[in-house]
Structure 1
Amino acid sequence: MNLALFFDFSGEAEYFPDSQKFSHFNYFVSIMVMIKKNVMMILLALILFNGCSIRKMALTGFTSTLSSQTGDVFTSDDDPELIGDALPFTIKLYESLARKDSTNAELLLATGKLFCLYAQGYVLFEADTLADSLKTAKKAAGKRAKKLFLRGKDYILKGLDLRHPGIYDALSGGSSDSALSITGIDDTAYLYWGSVAWTGAILSDRSDLALAMSLKKAVSLMQKVFYLDSSFSDGAVYEFMAIYYASAPKALGGDVEKSKEFFKKAIDLSDGTKASPYVNRASVLSLKLSDSDGFSDFLQRAISIKTPSQSPLRLLNTIYQQKAAWMLANKERFFPAEQTIQ
């Protein structure tokens, strides 16, 4: 199952003021800082002070720190398995704090993004490598990913609702155009990740026809980001829309030529430093066009990227390069006719 729409998780974090190049893994660093500097202080405060106002003050300070710490400890790591092992604990920590500090929009956004990361990077990616004969396992993984994406979507859109009261219900029931008309440039991270989570849920379980009917709304959030800031997150929006244009039928806006154009723009905006646009170009458009040579070429280009050891793209690129290597090693699964000829 190809869910490349969400493969780029380097969207700018709204909860990191003035951040221009935030990668989704950066907020893991706050866990490390929190463990070293904040946990004992918060626990001690909760033990010593019984007053509700004191506890709330401590919790608010804690979650604010958790939502604003940055760093490259995780993003510059080249061990996806290590990060994957840490994710379940991280998710539950964020989720428990979000429930306690439910008016913290930035924390809700961060929590939602973690669900997206885990669903795509550690549920669907692994399911993609299962043998085609394991249909039951693939289907189960898709349904699990759908639940994770929907939980992420809920947190993200509730965060947006704190900024624009009523928009959560408006997006759920009414016209997305009228709901989105009140959003602005400061809402781009919420709109981007809301679209990622929503679309991810739809494509994870294509048997859910009721959910599929909301695809237009899900994509409209990304289209609003494109209108507000088309260069958001170094080409992430172009990459998303390129995949949409390649995947959607013409009746819903599908356009192969526009997809080619947008993939090129995504690569240009990232200065060729991201592996994801190349992998997604191969796994979506090259397959659609039955372009075997292009498939191999784009995957090789992804693998050839040399990421500096301290780069915040190191972990993300490692994940995509591993996927590219697997796709090349299993090319016959994508182009079975070539295997027959040989």
Structure 2
Amino acid sequence: MIIFQRRQLYIWIFSILFLNACAINRDTMFGADIIEYTIPLTAKAQEKKIRKDSFNSEVYLEASERLIQFSYAILMDKADRLMYADYYTAREYYSEALDLFLTSREYMLTALSLRHPDFKSKMIDKESISFTTRDIPYLYWLSGAMAGSISASKGDPRYLIDLTNIKWLLKNAIALEPGWDKGALYSAMMSVYLNDTTGDRDSEKKALEYFELADRAAKGSNIGIYVTLAESFAVAKQDKDYFLELINKALSMDVNADKDMKQANLLSKLRAKWLLTRIDDLFYM
């Protein structure tokens, strides 16, 4: 049971942190049932744009952003909530999300290869690449697609090996502009170290350090990092008091403090409220 719940953490830990990096379209959040049926049309439109302009890295970036946001905000959240009530339907949502994440992964690898020849092989070998600040969104969204694949596959080893690539991508982005997009890179790195499988004894310490950096970069307006720390760190430690402290902090925060983060913060608050209803399942003592 504990192993199952630990794998479940991959889903939301990555999800909310990557959602916090973008201003989520209001329709994406509140029109979930409608957009769920329209996303295939959007995807086809994006594919058409790519075919017409296949050497333009920006069209791949735009397509990936939309697919990743939809997968995290709609499909993954639905799957996560349904897992305890309708397992088979939840698995269908995970499978659909995985397909979109893998498509986005290929889009972003293509985009970065257009910008930097032999990018994929250099990433695998962790070679030095002369990135610029214009590359940050590409590095970030590729890491988001990879993280999504891990989440949607429930930690499948075929995708889990991308954790080292995610870390490499984010480190390169942070080196260019540490506080980019109000701490989005720090938030993502916090997630990486919370899920570190390399045996790094300092992973927990690093995760907490990135939490502090993310909080400062967002000027205390990022609700998602508090929810993530509660669900991953506090639950893993079985520290119920700390869990409640973090969740109550998240629920007390003003979603209007930063208009760019409002939609992601609303999602985080909804998640926090849902977690409170599951407290007896999360803690055993």
Q: CA deviation at 1:246?
A: 2.0
Q: CA deviation at 1:169?
A: 5.2
Tell me whether 303-312 or 146-155 shows the greater mean CA deviation: 303-312
Instruction: Name the counterpart of 1:119.
Output: 71
- Cα 1:326/1:134, change in 2 over 3 Å: same
Q: CA deviation at 1:109?
A: 0.5
Query: Are 2:221 and 2:257, in contact at CA under 8 Å, matched by a contact in 1?
Result: no
Query: Does 1:85 find its partner at 2:34?
Result: yes
1:23-34 to 2 correspondences below 5 Å: 23-25=22-24
SS at the partner of 1:308? Answer: coil
Counterpart residue identity of residue 119, structure 2:
I
Q: CA deviation at 1:250?
A: 5.6
- Cα 1:302/1:84, change in 2 over 3 Å: farther
- Equivalent position to 2:277, from 319, 329, 341: 329
Q: CA deviation at 1:202?
A: 2.3
Query: Does 1:164 find its partner at 2:116?
Result: yes
CA distance in 1, matches of 2:216, 2:68: 25
CA distance in 2, matches of 1:24, 1:154: 23
- Equivalent position to 1:101, from 45, 49, 53: 53
Instruction: Name the counterpart of 1:215.
Output: 163
Q: Please, which runs of 5 or more residues in structure 2 have no aligned partner? A: 1-7
Instruction: Name the counterpart of 1:197.
Output: 145
Deviations 1:154-186 (A, max 9, x none): 112212222123314544xx41x11x5232322
- Cα 1:84/1:294, change in 2 over 3 Å: farther
- Equivalent position to 1:302, from 247, 250, 254: 250
- Cα 1:287/1:310, change in 2 over 3 Å: closer
Counterpart residue identity of residue 227, structure 1:
A
Query: Are 1:145 and 1:204, in contact at CA under 8 Å, matched by a contact in 2?
Result: yes
CA distance in 1, matches of 2:251, 2:235: 18
Instruction: Name the counterpart of 1:313.
Output: 261
- Equivalent position to 1:287, from 221, 235, 247: 235
- Equivalent position to 1:269, from 214, 217, 227: 217
Query: Are 1:246 and 1:288, in contact at CA under 8 Å, matched by a contact in 2?
Result: no
- Equivalent position to 2:193, from 236, 241, 245: 245
Query: Does 1:5 find its partner at 2:25?
Result: no
- Cα 1:131/1:103, change in 2 over 3 Å: closer
CA distance in 2, matches of 1:85, 1:138: 18
Counterpart residue identity of residue 270, structure 2:
Q
Greater CA radius of gyration, 1 or 2? Answer: 1
SS at the partner of 1:129? Answer: helix
Identity of aligned residues (%): 22
Q: CA deviation at 1:235?
A: 1.3
Aligned residues: 272
- Cα 1:97/1:78, change in 2 over 3 Å: closer
CA distance in 1, matches of 2:72, 2:180: 20
Query: Does 1:153 find its partner at 2:89?
Result: no
- Cα 1:256/1:207, change in 2 over 3 Å: closer
- Cα 1:116/1:252, change in 2 over 3 Å: farther
Query: Are 1:246 and 1:254, in contact at CA under 8 Å, matched by a contact in 2?
Result: no
- Cα 1:98/1:299, change in 2 over 3 Å: farther
- Cα 1:134/1:233, change in 2 over 3 Å: same
- Cα 1:300/1:91, change in 2 over 3 Å: farther
Query: Are 1:127 and 1:141, in contact at CA under 8 Å, matched by a contact in 2?
Result: yes
Q: CA deviation at 1:191?
A: 0.6
Instruction: Name the counterpart of 1:60.
Output: none
Query: Are 2:132 and 2:176, in contact at CA under 8 Å, matched by a contact in 1?
Result: yes
- Equivalent position to 1:230, from 162, 178, 181: 178
Counterpart residue identity of residue 191, structure 1:
L
CA distance in 2, matches of 1:142, 1:157: 22
Q: Please, which runs of 5 or more residues in structure 1 have no aligned partner? A: 12-22, 26-73
Q: CA deviation at 1:270?
A: 0.6
Q: CA deviation at 1:274?
A: 2.0
Give the aligned CA root-mean-square deviation in angstroms.
2.6
Which is helix-richer, 1 or 2?
2
- Cα 1:288/1:208, change in 2 over 3 Å: closer
Query: Are 2:15 and 2:73, in contact at CA under 8 Å, matched by a contact in 1?
Result: no
